[in-house]
Structure 1
Amino acid sequence: MPPHKKKGIPDRWEDYQAAGKRIPGTRFISFKVPLKQALCDLVEHSEPFGPRELMQILEKDGQELGLIIDLTFTTRYYKPEDLPDSVFYLKIFTAGHEIPSDSTILSFKRAVCRFLRDNTDNDKLIGVHCTHGLNRTGYLVCRYLIDVDGMDPNMAVELFNSSRGHSIERKNYLQDLQTGPKRSNDGMEKSELEPIRGGYRSYPDNHRDSHYNRHYNHGPSVPLHRRGMNHQKHSRCLLPPPLPPHGMWSPQPGLLPPPILSNYQWRPPPATWRR
């Protein structure tokens, strides 16, 4: 194994296409983990894929990303500050190879449910990734489609595979999805983890040289306390804080309105997706 693999790009990361397509009839789109610029510089056999490239891919397809759910079991690949401030980021640490626990599954359902409730007036997508955007990602997305939307397990797996452009590989994941019990949705409407807003109003034109410098424009683009940082350690914020966006996450979950899920009733996609 090349020396840079251990602390650099993930193993086999270059073997997978960067991003799939939106899963028909849902808000989900899956992709492999985007890499910060220092790691993109190590990519040799494929195109670099970082937060900016992710946004370009979605823009080209006419899609807008609203939330990223990061399922990797590390924080070294990129940071929320590397994302534009139009995107929220949520970390759910999920170990690889093993079936996600019921608590992890519920955390994922809660994150999706909250986003859908707060974004009934738009069509923004939920981006989900693990390392390759395939096994853990595929399992939890399919688990949601099966448990919450009532989709047939085999259809859920086929739909995910065709949209991602790769098939779920781990047999224990597939067996649990296809023949295992459904997981409970009790408590799914409760808020749990607080998403973090991305750190850029826009990317610098010379982002390759800037390494997504968080001091671009001489200061962070959003108040430090809203980016999960200790603002008491910083003397000032040189940029004025932006106005609160429409539909911003409520800091008081207890005051949230009742969940509105009717806008997200899965319906069979057109026959064109079938192989």
Structure 2
Amino acid sequence: MSQQQQKKKKKNTGVPDRWLDYCPVGSRIPGTRFIPFKVPLKAALNRQLPASQSFDLWDLLDSVRRQNQELGLIIDLTFTSRYYSVSDIPQHCAYIKIPTEGHRVPNNGVILSFKRAVRHFLRENPDDNRLIGVHCTHGLNRTGYLICRYLIDVDGLDATAALELFNSSRGHRIERKNYIRDLQHAAKRSNNGIDEPERNPIMGLAVGK
């Protein structure tokens, strides 16, 4: 196997590139039900890491509870299914996957799907205060873009306020300039169809760690 093939295999089977550079979980974004985090990993991937650096879905729930919060929905924006599966998700947590390519500004279809998922959860859970957890690979660029897009388009925040809220809550700043430019300068995306059903979330299957 060539060195290039080995690198490709490692990329497709190992811990995500630069994943260790980011703290696992941010804090609840003030005035919202959002909490951002990096992708939790299934057991086979966590075994490649020292115990102190591993991060799975149960670690995620523990981290959220330490903030005196409860997670109700996970929105997974990764463009792969290799990091974890429904069988790894705690059974009291709802889950929706919205595959979103990295590097490019999410298209209008992805943006609308995200808005619909959020709107549906908030309508179904108006009073319980459970959080909507959002992650991509690092819980930063795609995650930050779509949360900020929601805050701008739906909640009416200006871009500077939305970006600052996200960056301070995540503990890392959105890095991709094209995402930042779009949030700051592009037109708001339409909310037409936001109340139409997108897909029903599925419930996790894991009973305990």
CA contact (8 A) 1:72 1:92 kept: yes
Count of residues in correspondence between the two structures: 203
In 1: Cα distance, 2:148 partner to 2:51 partner: 30
2:128 is matched with 122
- CA deviations 1:53-81 (Å, max 9, x no partner) are 00110111111000000000000100122
Q: How far off its partner does 1:29 sit?
A: 0.2
1:77 is matched with 83
In 2: Cα distance, 1:33 partner to 1:43 partner: 15
- CA deviations 1:105-138 (Å, max 9, x no partner) are 0000000000000001200000000000000000
1:21 is matched with 27
What SS does the aligned partner of 2:102 have?
A: coil
Q: Indicate the structure whose relative CO is greater, using CA pairs within 8 Å and at least 6 residues apart.
A: 2
In 1: Cα distance, 2:8 partner to 2:26 partner: 28
1:50 is matched with 56
Q: CA RMSD in A?
A: 1.5
Q: Does 1:37 align with 2:53?
A: no
What SS does the aligned partner of 1:127 have?
A: strand
Residue of structure 1 aligned with 2:183, choices 177, 180, 200:
177
Per the normalisation by structure 2, the TM-score is 0.93
Identity of aligned residues (%): 59
1:159 is matched with 165
2:95 is matched with 89
Q: How far off its partner does 1:3 sit?
A: 6.7
Query: Do the aligned partners of residues 187 and 2 (structure 1) sit closer, same or farther apart at CA in structure 2, a change above 3 Å counting?
Result: closer
Code of the aligned partner of 1:50: D
Q: Does 1:138 align with 2:144?
A: yes
Larger radius of gyration: 1
Q: How far off its partner does 1:45 sit?
A: 9.2
1:66 is matched with 72
Q: Which runs of 5+ in 2 are unaligned?
A: 1-6
